[in-house]
Structure formats: C-alpha cells, structure tokens
Amino acid sequence: MKKSNKKGFVLAETIAVSTVVLASLVIIYTQFVSVNNSYNQSFHYNNVNNLYLIDNIRNFIAQDNSLNKLVNALDNNTYLDITNCSNEYFLEYIYCETLFNYANVKTVLFTKEDMTDLKAEISDTSYSETLKQFIKRTNNSLEDNYRLIVEFNDDTYATIKIKI
C-alpha cells in the first residue's frame, strides 16, 4: 500500500483561491471608493437645496435691476465679490443682506460664463481651497452669459448661469 501525499496540492489550491478572493476584494474596494467619492461630490456640489437658494439670489438680482450694474463693473474685472451686498450694486442692499444670511451664504461671486481667466486668477486669492477647487472643476462655457458662484457656510457650493 502506497500513501499518496496531497499536501502540495492543498497548498497550491489555497494560494489560487486566496488570490482570486483577494483580487475580488480589491476590485470591490476600488468600486466602492469611486461610488463614495461621487456621492460626496454630488452632496457638496450643486445639491438641490443650494440650487434653489442660488436661484433665489439670481431672481433677486433680476428684480432689483442690479444686473446691469454688475455687468458694467465686471468689464474691468475677472469677477466681482458681491458677498457684502454693497449699495454700489444693489438698490435693496438690506434685503440682499437678509437673503444672504437666510441662505447661510459665505461667499458670492459674479463672473462671466467663460471662466478661463477666473480659473487662472483664483489661485492667488484668499478664498478657501475648496472654493478654488470647485471653481476649477466647474465646466467652462464660451457663451456670452454670466454666472453666480456661491460658497455656503456648511462647505457646500453651487453655481448657476445668468442669461441676459
């Protein structure tokens, strides 16, 4: 009677199965990280609540007849920081302050739709790094319109076009 030694076969089988299981876990992990990053980005960038709030700001600018003042001031600048609701731009600047406070706004920028110059210039400003990243990730358009970019106090961001 001869004994068969199967220890080598069991070891090879264990290594092969371990390799398949490990490769499957790595693939699942990378997919999870990708989905999780997409979810975090969709939560922080242009979520529904923020789009409604920024639409209210856009409607206020249109009803206050401030758009022409903002467009004229933008001719000499790449962007305008209108966070302080200056009476230079707004007739109803007190309502503007109330609206921005209600919307929990940290920063409001008014710029052209073509943000090529803004993307190049924003790195040298004192704005938060996350706002700079949001601006750089925003799709660029060559249309002759304008855009509002808003940073909220809860570190979320939104942008909306303003057509003339």
Give residue 111's pLDDT.
92
**SS3 of 151, please?**
strand
Same domain, 105 and 157: yes
Sequence-distant contacts of 136-142: CB under 8 A, at least 24 apart: 137/45, 140/114, 140/115, 140/116, 141/113, 141/114, 142/113, 142/114
Same domain, 33 and 51: no
- Is the pTM higher than 0.85? The answer reads no
Residue 145 domain boundaries: 46-162
Same domain, 59 and 18: no
Single-letter amino acid code for the residue at 112 = K
Give residue 145's pLDDT.
87
Give residue 149's pLDDT.
94
Statement: residue 90 has pLDDT above 70: yes
Same domain, 16 and 62: no
Model confidence pLDDT, tens digit, residues 112-127: 988 888 888 888 888 9
Same domain, 88 and 27: no
Give residue 6's pLDDT.
60
Model confidence pLDDT, tens digit, residues 2-52: 556 666 677 788 888 899 999 999 999 999 888 888 777 777 888 888 999
Q: Comparing 8 with 153, which gets the higher pLDDT?
A: 153
Same domain, 81 and 39: no
